[in-house]
Chains A and B, each alone.
Chain A
C-alpha cells in the first residue's frame, strides 16, 4: 500500500521516511492516549485514580448524576451559559462576517486583529480585567457576566465560520431578490440567511464549545454556582476523585459531537464556496 503523494516519494523513502513515520505515529498516540486513559478510568471500580483499574463499574457516573447534585447543577449552568454565548456571538459574528468576508474597506485589518486578540492575550489577563469590570457593576456571579465574557472568546470562531459561507454567497442571488421587489429585511431572511446556514451552524457549535470548555474566566466570574469546568477545577485542586474522570468523559463526548457537527457544517460551507456556479444555477 502506498500512502505517499507521488512527488514526495523521494523525500519519504529510506531512513528519513522511516523516522518521519515513527515520529508521526508517536505524536498521534501522544495526543490521543491520555484522553483514552481518562475514558477508561472513568469506568473504574477503584476508590482512587489507578491505571489500569482493578475492576470496572459505573459508580463515578452514579456519583455524577445521582449522588452529588453539585455536578449536574454545574453542568446545567455551563449548558445555559454556553447556549446563550453561542446565540450572542453568532448574532454579533454573523453581522461582522458579512463585510469582512465580502469587501475591502479601511480599518478591516484592525478589526480582524481585534477579533483575534482575545485568543492570543493570556486568559488570565482577560479574566482579571473582566473580574474588575464586573465587580464595579456588581455582576460577578451572574449568568450575564459569564455569557458576555465567554462571547468575547467565542466571537472569533463565529466570524471565521460564517465568513466561509459568506465568501461563497453569490451576490447575484441577493440582487435578483431585490430586483424582484423584496425589501432588504426579506432578502436577508429568505435568501442570505439560508445560504449562510452551514457557516452559522458550524460557528454556533464551536462557539458553544469555546464557552463550555472555558476555565480561567469561569474561575473568577462564576461565583457561588460553579460552571462544570470550575466544579472540576475545585475537585482537582482538593481531592482528584474519579468523578472528574466521569465528568471528563462526558466533556470529551460533547467535544467530539460538537466538533464533528461543526466540521461537517464547515465542510458543507466550504464545498459551497468552491462551487459557486451550482449555487447560482436556477
Chain B
C-alpha cells in the first residue's frame, strides 16, 4: 500500500514543477532583476538615475498621466462592468453563458486589432465623425483620435472583461436565500442590490478593480497608438529611453517605480483577499 502511494506521488512529485520554475527564474525574474539593478549600478552603486527621475518634470507629468488614465479607465470599467455582471449573473444559465462567451472571446482578439478598430471608428473618415456631421453637431469631418477620450475608450474596451468576469463569479457565489429574504422583508430592487447583493460581491469588485488598474498602469500599445502628447504613459517613456536615448539605467528607474506600485497594490490585495483568488478556472 505504502509503495503504491509513493509511486503515485512520483507521478505528481513537486519536482515536476522545477523545469517551469527554472525557466521563469532564468528568463523572467533574472532579466527583470538585472534591468532593475542596472538602474543603481553605473558601474558602481549610484542613485543618479533616481535623482534625475525625481528632478525631471517630464517624469512627474507622465506618472500623473499614467495614474489619471488608469483611475479613469478603472472607474468606467466598474460603472459599465458591474451592471453587466449583475445582469449576467441573474440570467438563466444558457443566456448567461452566451453573453459571457462574447465577453471572454473579446479578450482573445488581438489587442492591436481592437485598437485599430477604434482608429477606424474615430478617424476622420470614421462613422462617428460622419454621424456628427450628418446630425449637424459638427461642421466638417474631423478626427477624434489622439486624445484622452480615445485612449480611455479603447483601454476600457480592452479591460472591461477583467472587471466583468470576477464580479460575475462573486455574484454567483451569493446565497440565493439572502436575496429572497431581502425581497420578502419588503426591500425594493434597488435596496436589495445596494444592501445585500453589492456588499456580498465586494471581493469580486476588488479583484476586478485591482486587475484593471494594474494592467492599465503598464499599458503601452493603446496610448502609443491612440493617444496624443498628453497621454504619454510610463511604458511609453521607458520604450523611448531604451530605444532612442539608450538610457537603460534611467529606463530601469521608471520600471522600478512601476513595479513597486504594482507590488504594493498586490500586497494590499493579498492581505485582504488572498492572491490565490486570481488563480483557478481556465482561459483568461
Chain A residues at the B interface, C-beta cutoff of 8 Å: 2-5, 7-8, 10-17, 19-21, 23-24, 27-28, 30-32, 34-35, 37-38, 41, 48-52, 91-93, 95-96, 98-103, 105, 107-109, 111-118, 120-126, 128-133, 148-149, 151-152, 155, 157, 159-161, 163-164, 166, 171, 174-175, 178-179, 184, 187-188, 192, 202, 206, 209, 212-213, 215-216, 229, 232-233, 236-237, 240, 244-245, 248, 251-252, 255-256, 258-259, 262-263, 266, 269-270
Contacts and interface: CB of A to CB of B under 8 A. Distances in A.
B92 A3 contact: yes
- Say what secondary structure dominates the interface of chain A: helix
A129 B32 contact: yes
The 7 closest A-B pairs by CB, nearest first: A122-B218, A10-B183, A34-B117, A124-B235, A8-B90, A129-B31, A7-B176
B116 interface: yes
B20 A11 contact: no
Contacts of B193: 11, 16
Given A11-B193, A20-B87, A128-B255, A120 B109 contact: no
A14 B219 CA distance: 40
22 contacts: A7-B176, A10-B182, A11-B86, A27-B80, A28-B103, A37-B117, A37-B120, A38-B120, A50-B125, A99-B14, A103-B12, A115-B20, A125-B218, A128-B242, A129-B28, A129-B31, A132-B31, A148-B27, A151-B23, A209-B108, A229-B112, A244-B116
A122 B235 contact: yes
Interface string B251-284: 1000100110010001000000001101111111
B7 interface: yes
A148 B221 CA distance: 22
Nearest to B281: A160
Interface in B162-190: 164, 176-177, 179-180, 182-183, 188-190
B110 A251 contact: yes
Contacts of A128: 35, 238-239, 242, 251, 255
Given A175-B7, A206-B283, A8 B179 contact: yes
A221 to B, nearest CB: 12
B111 A215 contact: yes
Nearest to A6: B176
Interface residues of B, number: 110
Nearest to A113: B275
B71 interface: no
A100 B17 contact: yes
